[in-house]
Amino acid sequence: MSERIGMICKLAPQELKGIYTFDKIDSDDIDGLSVSMLDAFKDTVDFNGETIEELNKEICSIVESTFGTFIPDASFQIKQNGEIAAVVLISLFKGKPFVSELFTVKKYLKQGMASNLLKNSINVLMNLGYDDLILYVHPENAAAVNLYKKIGFIEL
């Protein structure tokens, strides 16, 4: 994570904008999540040439809590036209909720899905008794950095 910048947000109630349905994530979704993640990251600063199999292992390690304790109640996907459009995966990292993954499939960008997913996760985490949410972002991913700052994240 050395090339990424850490950000933290003190949790506060978030107003959701949009008409999205937030679906929970379970191990049956891993293959679909991997395909969506590859689409979202390919040809971006976040892509390091990972294969679908490598992304599948990464998502498995998150959902099966081998990376850190997965928080299924705060992790969601938005489906559009029967396909996964956007995803947020939240785990515990050093005792704090951590955005393990947040991505939107390219054809669904700029529709407010990532923002709504993150805000929904923040509201759930507050209800679960957490105070902060942390994440790491590539500094050249300006759209993501701007989104996080709008929601209230500051650099660590």
Are 21 and 79 contacting, i.e. CB atoms less than 8 angstroms apart?
A: yes
Backbone CA torsion sign across 142, 37, 124, 119: positive
What confidence tier does 2 reach under pLDDT thresholds 50, 70, 90? low
How does residue 155 score in pLDDT terms, banded at 50, 70 and 90?
very high
Residue 3: predicted pLDDT: 86
134 pairs with which residues across the strands? Answer: 8, 98
pLDDT at 34 over 80: yes
Burial 10-39 (b: 16+ CB within 10 A, else e): ebeebeeeeebebeebeeebbebbbbbbbb
In the predicted structure, residue 1 carries a pLDDT above the cut 50 = no
Which domains are delineated in the chain? 5-155 (3.40.630.30)
Q: What percent of the chain has pLDDT over 70?
A: 99
pLDDT digits (tens, 9 = 90+) for 39-58: 999 988 888 889 999 999 99
Residue pLDDT, tens place only, 81-132 = 999 999 999 999 999 999 999 999 999 999 999 999 999 999 999 999 999 9
CA 155 to chain centre: 17
* Tokens representing residue 88 in the block: 């947020």
Alpha-carbon distance 140 to 155, whole Å?
A: 14
12: closest CA among 127, 149, 143? 127
Give the span between the Cα atoms of 106 and 22, in whole angstroms: 19
Stretch 19-42: mean pLDDT:
93
